[in-house]
Structure 1
Amino acid sequence: MIVSRLDGTQVADHVEALADLLVDTVDGGASVGFLAPLDRATALAWWQERAAGVAAGQLAVWVARDDGRTLGTVSLAFPDKPNSRHRAELVKLMVHREARGRGLGRRLLATAEEAAVGAGVTLLHLDTETDSPAEHLYTAVGWTRAGVIPDYAADPAGVLRPTTLYYKYVGAAAGSGVTALTR
């Protein structure tokens, strides 16, 4: 299994496989912002739009591939405001249904966390559907629950569900409350 970071051109080159992964993730019941059934054209368009953010440095995308198949992805979204450059949002952690339960989600999280530290980020945050398998993963790898927002987003079936917010300090300044802005 190879995990690699994509630049804007590479995102465009991988858009077909990433779209298939997104469709599989939604069809598998994961709440990642889309309703099921997700048509492939919508998934393709969504990933094509991400390429510009990657090229601009606002988004970092990693893919996990094995034997030529894209089995997972994770992204970091970087804020553009000067007072928030110490943090990033972990977004769209997706693992293909066939690859779940083998530690790929943990590996993708660790990759994103290490890259965040390398970029000078000391605080990560995310949101996920409450009581989802993803929530259990985040708790298991040291993310801290900040709170729950009721009826925040619809799951793939269209049912309003609560969302849990998480954060995690990373890097040498983890948890110190004192950070120098380096990005």
Structure 2
Amino acid sequence: MSTGGTSVEIVSLAAPVSERALDELAEVLADCVEGGASVNFMSPYSPGEARRFFDKVASGVASGDIVLLVARLEGRIVGTVQLGLDTPPNQLHRADVKKMLVHRSARGRGVGAALMAAIEEQARQHGRWLLVLDTVPGESGHRLYLRSGWLQSGTIPDFAQFPDGRFCDTAIMWKWLDRD
């Protein structure tokens, strides 16, 4: 995908995830938390803490429970999203979309939309046609998901906190993919 002369490359990372990729992923996560994103972590949040989080994600990639996509601009990881495939036996048709993150320096270039299109394709390849996620209503991710055809089932008040401690609601969202 080209974004104003710069090409966004979307790649699925396989196990073992490289040290460089883990460090770059940690940088993206730490930047998002520093920027105020409600993605489970509180300020202050260090790149070391973010690296430990992605070390766990890499274990999920190795076990086959997680598909990890990254977006690269000029060879550097600037975004990521995960597809959680670890569902109960009666829910093998669905998957969880998790941790859709774009570094603040890369926002507004179509990185998030490219990641979402690619994660939907990954879901199809894994036989998953119902996707679910939660997000803060009114924030940039929420607007992206609505533009991408996701539907909102409801809102839970004071579900989580922003990194600075303020409470925020969460929107429960879902999307049916074409079943081939």
Deviation at 1:25, TM superposition (A): 0.8
Deviation at 1:11, TM superposition (A): 5.2
Deviation at 1:158, TM superposition (A): 1.1
- Unpaired stretches in structure 1, ≥5 consecutive residues: 174-183
RMSD value over aligned CA atoms? 1.2
CA distance in 1, matches of 2:47, 2:102: 17
CA distance in 2, matches of 1:122, 1:2: 24
Deviation at 1:58, TM superposition (A): 0.6
Deviation at 1:97, TM superposition (A): 0.5
Give 1:133's match in structure 2, choosing from 140, 159, 173. Answer: 140
Question: Who is 1:82 aligned against?
Answer: 89
Tell me the alpha carbon deviations over residues 86-135 of structure 1, each in whole angstroms, 9 at most, x when there is no partner.
00000000011011111110000000001101110010000001221111
Tell me the alpha carbon deviations over residues 25-61 of structure 1, each in whole angstroms, 9 at most, x when there is no partner.
1111111111122111111111111111111111100
TM-score by length of 1: 0.90
2:45 counterpart of 1:38: yes
Amino acid at match of 1:17: E
Amino acid at match of 1:145: Q
| 1:12-161 mapped onto 2 (5 Å cutoff) | 12-161=19-168
CA distance in 2, matches of 1:152, 1:87: 23
The percent identity for this pair of structures is 39
Amino acid at match of 1:133: S
CA distance in 1, matches of 2:12, 2:56: 17
For the 8 Å contact 1:122–1:171, the answer to whether it is kept is yes
Count how many residue pairs are aligned between Structure 1 and Structure 2.
Answer: 173
2:169 counterpart of 1:168: no
Deviation at 1:13, TM superposition (A): 4.6
For the 8 Å contact 1:23–1:38, the answer to whether it is kept is yes
CA distance in 2, matches of 1:16, 1:107: 22
For the 8 Å contact 1:151–1:162, the answer to whether it is kept is yes
For the 8 Å contact 2:38–2:163, the answer to whether it is kept is yes
Amino acid at match of 2:74: D
For the 8 Å contact 2:42–2:165, the answer to whether it is kept is yes
For the 8 Å contact 1:129–1:164, the answer to whether it is kept is yes
Deviation at 1:159, TM superposition (A): 1.1
